[in-house]
Amino acid sequence: MTNETRDREAEQGGELELDVDGEPAADLDTVTQEALAAVEKVGAADEEVESTADEVAKLEREIADLRDRSIRTLADFDNYRKRADRERDDIRRYATTELLRDLLGVVDNLNLALAADGAAEDLKKGVELTLRQFADLLRRNGVREVAALGERFDPAVHEAVSKHEDPSVAAPTVVEELRRGYLLHDRLLRPAMVRVALPEESAGG
């Protein structure tokens, strides 16, 4: 730009802002728009920071809530475990309550038999009645006798206390029951104590 042009523009009422090279500076509208854009970016950044802070606070609340619920759940489980332990102990201690209550009736009858006056035959009948009562009580509670006398010897349920040769038997056979054996359902409570007859060919073994 010549000095004459500059002088003419000065005379027309204004001076142009010049840059370091003597050229006109950027248009004012452009500068203003750039400044506004910068302000908007700063505002957007502030909103993003605020949004992130809200998310962090929300997550912290959720973590605290989960921690509280976990603590309550653990406490509930611990109380349940203690209650289950107490109930299991009670079951173990009092599982035989009904059976023992029924046994008291047998004891009562035995006491009555001992206290009664009368002949030995009467006492025997009283004992027989009490024994039947007791046997019925055992059956109602799943106890049954082990078959023994005349049965083939079975070491799973018979305990042989003696053996002898007997040519009349074809297999080891229980010929005498010394003590009765019992099963609880399908489980052996105690074996029957027996004497066993063996066929001749097995007698030596």
CATH number, domain with residue 168: 2.30.22.10
Quote the pTM value: 0.54
Strand 182-184 and strand 143-145: pairing? Answer: antiparallel
- Reference 190, options 161, 153, 152, 159; nearest CA is 159
Asked if the structure places residue 111 within a domain, the reply is yes
Residue 108: both structure tokens together: 């009562």
d(CA 106, CA 96): 15
Same domain, 104 and 79: no
Distances (CA, A) of 51 to 106, 185, 197: 83, 72, 96
pLDDT of residue 14: 44
Give me the domain span that covers residue 71. 26-94
d(CA 161, CA 180): 13
Asked if the structure places residue 76 within a domain, the reply is yes
- Reference 113, options 99, 98, 133, 97; nearest CA is 133
pLDDT of residue 160: 96
In tens, the pLDDT along 18-43 reads 454 554 555 667 767 777 677 677 66
Asked if 194 contacts 174 with a C-beta cutoff of 8 angstroms, the reply is: yes
Same domain, 194 and 151: yes
Same domain, 130 and 156: no
- Counted domains in the chain: 3
What average pLDDT does the structure give for the chain? Answer: 81
Strands across the sheet with 182-184, in order? 143-145, 182-184, 187-190
- Reference 145, options 98, 84, 192, 85; nearest CA is 192
202 Cβ neighbours under 8 A, 6+ residues apart: 172
Asked if the structure places residue 135 within a domain, the reply is yes
In tens, the pLDDT along 133-177 reads 999 999 998 999 999 999 999 999 999 999 999 999 999 999 999
Per-residue pLDDT, averaged over 122-139, amounts to: 87
User: Does the structure show a pLDDT above 80 at 77?
Assistant: yes
Asked if the structure places residue 1 within a domain, the reply is no
